[in-house]
Amino acid sequence: MGREFFEAKMCSEPDKCLTNRSEYSTIHREEENESKRGNEGMGRIFGRTAVITAIVAAGTVFGWLYLESRKEQPRSASVGLTGADVVRESADGQSGNLLKWWEDRLQAAERNGKWDAAADYAYRMAAYYRSADREKEAEHWYAASDAYRTKAEPRDNRFYDEALPSPQEVVLTPYVGVPATENRQLAKFEPQSGAYLGMFGIFDYPAVEQTFGRYHPIGLHYSGWRKDENDTRNYFPTRTINSVKAAGAGGALQIGWEPQYGLDAVKDDEYVRSFARQAKEAGIPIFLRYASEMNGNWVPWYDEPQKYVEKFRLVSRIIKEEAPNVAMVWSPNFWPQDNIDAYYPGDEYVDWVGFSLYSTPYYDGKEDFSKNQIDYFIPLYEKYKHKPIMIAEGAISHYNTKTNKSHAKWAEGQISIMYGFLPKMFPQVKAITYFNMSKSRSESLKSEFIYDIKENPLMYDQYRKLIQSDYFLTKVEQGTSAKENIRYVPLATASGLQGKHKLFVYPDMPFDSQPHSVAVFQGEKRLAVSYEVPWEVEIDFSSLQADVPLTIVAYNGRQETLARQSFDWSKR
């Protein structure tokens, strides 16, 4: 549970990593104690003390600009659209006006003294106004961004628009939505399209929706094996089940069932069957992630693949006999990858494949921004995509306690990858659970990495924004689908493109930075533009010239071209 990304990337000093066995046991004991206390409250989510601050920039009245921006929305000279129309082209039907959202977040950052976030939102507004040919407002917001920046901590300019990357350093990949069809039988609780949201770290599950603004139908709980061979108590998480039920209809629980006393303790006995019967009595869908991360040497059930397969099959058979509402999840860590296959129990014993997928900007104790979650995930997906896949636990580290260094902007880009791109690029990913260990808990465990979403305003805002997408499902039910029952495929592989289709663009850029806008052209005509991740627009392919490629252009915050790449497509 909560395995660190840097440990998975072969930490050179395993005895010093968070996921060594002693700290792993500590985390597990805390999880059991949390459950026994009734999982009350919202965990350890820190509030923030509001800080009353000065106005945006000296000599400029913010209220005047606010009213002026309401009188007339910006107009794009290139396509003749009002600013509101341009914002709607982002294809985010839930968010409303992006300018209003950015203003709201800027004001919240200002109230809380989060000057780096305030500077960031002011810069986004400036970039938007410049793209709409309203240079007066653009210059105001660039100045405001600079003024906020003087109050902020020194920033890492590698993640900002200080230098243009070379064209060879940027790869733009467009994906297009096509009708979702399955040529195979769906697994237990598998949706036809879309992905379930899950959350760990807030143990009062009704509070999850209050905190993040969207219902998360999957909770996560860790259950250890019985205390000793003579103890028949099963520690089934009844209180957590009740908390998930209280959060709303359609909820489910992922249970990490962990034989921390070794695989020899796993038998067909009353303990296991009692656990299974209680799972059935729970009356909600359960994803049973038995003995996960078996490929990593930080768990006691590591390095015995034959015995592991035998025990997984045993548990799977018992569950099928006793608990029809339980889906078996086989769940390795994403690294190391060379030993994973030996642990696979076989298709008939596995309903879902799960992966732990963490991201920190460190490799072997040094900063490393060369790879992200998608890079590591691709080979795993290709091998196991015949099953529905869940990111059973995953998180982004935005602060390093050892170096006292923040990676707030980098982490915003990573959460964009995790929730904006990954589930759409890999449509068999049908659930993602965020491991939101609170900052206070991480510090008590002397963890090097902070994953708490709320501690990073940019990451928190981006997460709340991204999960509003209708692609994320709010009810666990086999065969359900997203509002638009589509799946995304690379534009280059799509055929028969007629009528309107959603199209998004994955930008692979240095340091996993993101553009400030992405536009789609055919010839000299701009078809659409998006101002937010995942750079999604709607294109009417029936109105396009069949033999003329589409051109994707990505811009930075100064409206300079980051990349311009053309792509063939097919109406046939």
Q: What is the domain partition of the chain in residue ranges?
A: 93-155, 185-483, 488-567
The 10 Å Cβ neighbour count of residue 545 is 10
Q: Where are the beta strands (DSSP E) in 320-440?
A: 326-330, 352-359, 362-363, 366-367, 389-396, 399-400, 405-406, 429-435
Report which of 59, 52, 28 is spatially closest to residue 292, judged by C-alpha positions.
Answer: 28
**pLDDT at residue 217 in the model:** 98
Q: Among the residues of 152-261, which ranges form H helices?
A: 206-212, 238-247
Instruction: Give whole-number Cα distances, 54 to 60, 107, 108, in Å.
Output: 11, 11, 13
Tokens 């659409």 correspond to what residue?
528
Q: What are phi and psi of 256, to 5 degrees?
A: -85, 100
Q: Is 393 a catalytic residue?
A: yes
Both structure tokens of 189: 């609780």
**pLDDT at residue 192 in the model:** 94
Among 2.60.40, 2.60.220, 3.90.1150, 1.10.3470, what is the CATH number of 488-567?
A: 2.60.40
Instruction: List Cβ neighbours of 269 (8 Å cut-off, separation of 6 or more).
Output: none
Instruction: Give whole-number Cα distances, 420 to 73, 105, 297, 436, in Å.
Output: 27, 19, 32, 18
Q: Do domains 185-483 and 488-567 have the same CATH topology?
A: no
**pLDDT at residue 163 in the model:** 81
Buried-exposed string 510-526: b where 16+ CB fall within 10 A, e elsewhere: ebbbbbbbbbbbbeeeb
Angle, to 10 degrees, between the axis of helix 270-282 and the axis of helix 238-247? 20
Query: Contact 412/458 with Cβ under 8 angstroms?
Result: yes
**pLDDT at residue 330 in the model:** 98
- The C-alpha torsion from 509 through 512 and 518 to 521, rounded to 10°, is 30
Query: Contact 352/428 with Cβ under 8 angstroms?
Result: no
**pLDDT at residue 161 in the model:** 80
How confident is the chain (572 residues) per 10-residue block, as mean pLDDT? 38 33 39 40 31 32 34 29 38 58 96 97 96 96 97 90 87 96 90 97 95 97 79 80 96 96 94 95 98 96 97 98 98 96 98 96 89 94 97 96 94 97 97 95 91 97 97 96 94 94 97 95 96 97 94 96 96 83
Q: Is 31 a catalytic residue?
A: no
**pLDDT at residue 25 in the model:** 39
Catalytic choice (190, 258, 293, 412): 293
Report which of 254, 316, 248 is spatially closest to residue 287, judged by C-alpha positions.
Answer: 254
The 10 Å Cβ neighbour count of residue 284 is 17
Catalytic choice (89, 103, 110, 393): 393
Q: What is the pTM of this model?
A: 0.85
Q: In the CATH scheme, what architecture does the domain 185-483 have?
A: Alpha-Beta Barrel (3.20)
Rounded CA gap, 250 and 284, in Å? 8
